[in-house]
Amino acid sequence: MSVITPLEGSDVITDILQNAIDDLSASGGGRVTIPRGRWVAGAIVLKSGVELHVPMGAVLACSKDYEDFEAGTVSVIAEDSDRGFIVARDAENISITGKGTIHGSGPDWCSREGLFDGVKWAKFHRPRMVVFEACQNVEISDVTFLEAPMWTIHLVACKQIRVTDVSILNDMLMPNTDGVNFDSCQDAFMSGCKIVAADDSVCVKTCDKLDPALEMAAERINVTNCHFTSRSCSVKIGTETHQDVRDVIFSGLTITGTNRAFGVMARDGGTIERIRFANSTVDCSQAPHTYWGSGEPISVVSHSRVPGKAPSIVRDVAIQGISGRCEGAIVVHGSPDQQIENVMISSVNLRQEAGEFSHELFLDLRPVPEDVNDLDDPEMGRRNCFVRRPDGGIFGMDPYPNGFPGVYVRNAREVKVEQVQIDRPSPLPEGWSEQTFDLQT
């Protein structure tokens, strides 16, 4: 075991901490402990056999200067981020533990004060807090992550993962602050976590990768017994689906204050199959159009966002035992040339209410091809978020053709809806369909 001894008069521990990790790994591994107090570091490279322990009373804060993270440059780029705070590559038996805090210094990663379309002006280049690539036997437990500047935990092509009793508390106005992203990971278990984030709480995805060694299917991932609050899609498969995703289970979740509770957003050609959402409570509210989602409890959508690229195959999706409140509809929407197959929706009990923005009247299929374009005029939208049409509407948001329903299905086959109860207002608000179930399979 090694306890860090900071230099007198300095709160910066980058070199001291990295040297301790290097020495421990070279000697067979062990625990390196952050002392009580608040300490600042640039990029830290975690190595095989080392446990980074942050005990109660200790705060490890990331530097405010992106250049301090050059040693944390990683292979997989996310948005405009190519660096991480705590990183690892090809490591085994690594962990981050303890009841202390890892602080992302989020407010320092804004380019100006104020809001733009309901979110803060985040800098283009921001570090992710944790990026592990091609690692095996990974544990992250008990620690609290605060105010991430960008994605909080990004696990890439990792195997045998446990994320337990972790708290992630991010600024609800800071964009791209996902909680946990399992990217091409295999055999992952997550339980007992609390996540508050402006972006997705948990994603299972397969990003486009420059390194072929990281191109793997995401499979055998189990997330259970967690509490999530999100201003985006709280639990999501996608949107990046360049490789396959299979055998994923989300169960026993409490989801509050989210734009969309459960989502399968397949856009990039990988096959998505054997997905389970079960035994969870949801509370879904609308948000400004700058956020994807219109209060849907469940949204399963597959289409291509790159012209000429075949859409993903999505099949064998089961949604069971979901209850709560929503301001949107259950949506299953495939492509005319690639229908979604074999969807079971059962034992669902929801109260459907009108939302603040009347967005329930619009079917939200974003992201769409227009969203990948760079924009010269900020008034016309934001790349990978939303783009305004010449008429002032939003690409990917169009009125439901028959009015707003409770369940909406298009371009899908073998869809079974059993024991689904949607309690709706009486009388129905303007623009709502008399049909609770609008199913065309």
Q: How far is CA 435 from the centre of its chain?
A: 33
pTM strictly above 0.85 = yes
Tell which of 193, 226, 259 closes a domain: 226
CA 23 to chain centre: 35
Strands of 272-428, DSSP E: 272-284, 296-302, 314-326, 330-333, 340-352, 362-364, 381-382, 386-387, 397-399, 407-410, 412-423
Domain range for 159 is 1-226
Of 205, 226, 247, which one is at a domain's C-terminal end? 226
Distance set, CA 40 to CA 97, 108, 130, 153, 180 (Å): 18, 13, 15, 19, 23
| pLDDT of the residue at 381 | 67
- DSSP string for residues in 109-120: GEEEEEEETTEE
311, 271 Cβ separation under 8 angstroms: no
Q: If you count them, how many residues does the chain have? A: 441
| Domains: count for the chain | 2
- Distance CA(437)–CA(432), nearest Å, equals 12
Residue 7 contacts residue 33 (beta carbons within 8 Å): no
Number of C-beta neighbours around residue 300 at 10 A:
28
End-to-end Cα spacing for the chain? 61
Work out the widest C-alpha separation in the chain, in whole angstroms. 72
The answer to whether residues 89 and 126 belong to one domain is yes
- Is the same domain home to 130 and 69? yes
Q: What's residue 372's pLDDT?
A: 74
Query: Which pLDDT value is given to residue 290?
Result: 76
- What's the rounded Cα separation, in Å, for the pair 387 and 380? 6
Instruction: Examine the domain organization and report whether 289 and 388 are in the same domain.
Output: yes
CB-CB neighbours of 111 under 10 Å: 10
DSSP assigned state of 85:
E
Same domain? For 275 and 409 the reply is: yes
Interacting residues of 335 by C-beta distance below 8 A, sequence separation 6+? 302, 303, 304, 311, 411
The candidate with the shortest Cα–Cα distance to 140, out of 118, 122, 158, 117, is 158
What whole-number distance in Å separates Cα of residue 71 and Cα of residue 18?
11
Number of helical H runs and strand E runs in the chain = 1, 40
Residue with tokens 């690692």: 135
What torsion do the CA atoms of 427, 431, 432, 435 make, to the nearest 10 degrees? 120
Beta strands 272-284 and 254-258 are parallel
Q: Which residues contact 5 (CB under 8 A, 6 or more apart)?
A: 16, 35
Specify whether 280 is located in the same domain as 405: yes
Q: What is the pLDDT of residue 117?
A: 76
Do 68 and 131 lie in one domain? The reply is yes
Strand-pair partners of 425: none
| CB distance 356 to 431 below 8 Å | no
Structure tokens at 180: 């946990």
In three-state secondary structure terms, 87 is strand
Are 145 and 153 contacting, i.e. CB atoms less than 8 angstroms apart?
Answer: yes
Contact 297, 255 (CB under 8 A): no
Q: Does residue 121 sit in the same domain as residue 220?
A: yes
Token pair 């337990």 is found at: 164
Radius of gyration of the chain (CA): 22
- Looking at 226, 259, 279, the residue that finishes a domain is 226
Residue 1 pLDDT: 66
Q: Tell me, yes or no, whether 311 and 250 share the same domain.
A: yes
Please check whether residues 170 and 295 belong to one and the same domain.
no
Q: Given the structure tokens 């399968």, which residue do they identify? A: 264
Strands 144-146 and 167-169: parallel
Q: Are residues 245 and 342 in the same domain?
A: yes
Q: Check residue 394 and report its DSSP letter.
A: B
Residue 10's pLDDT is 83
Angle, vertex CA 437, rays to CA 432 and CA 440, nearest 5:
110
pLDDT tens per residue across all 441 residues of the chain:
676 677 677 899 999 999 999 999 999 999 999 999 999 999 999 999 999 999 999 999 999 999 999 999 999 999 889 999 999 999 999 999 999 999 999 999 999 998 877 789 899 899 999 999 999 999 999 999 999 999 999 999 999 999 999 999 999 999 999 999 999 999 999 999 999 999 999 999 999 998 999 999 999 999 999 999 999 999 999 999 999 999 999 999 999 999 999 999 999 999 999 999 999 999 999 988 778 999 999 999 999 988 778 889 999 999 999 999 999 999 999 999 899 999 999 999 999 999 988 767 899 999 988 877 666 566 666 667 788 888 888 899 999 999 999 999 999 999 999 999 999 999 999 999 999 999 997
Q: Give the contacts of 27 (CB within 8 A, at least 6 positions apart).
A: none
> Tell me, what CATH number does 38's domain have?
2.160.20.10
Residues 252 and 171 in one domain: no
Do 271 and 210 share a domain, yes or no? no
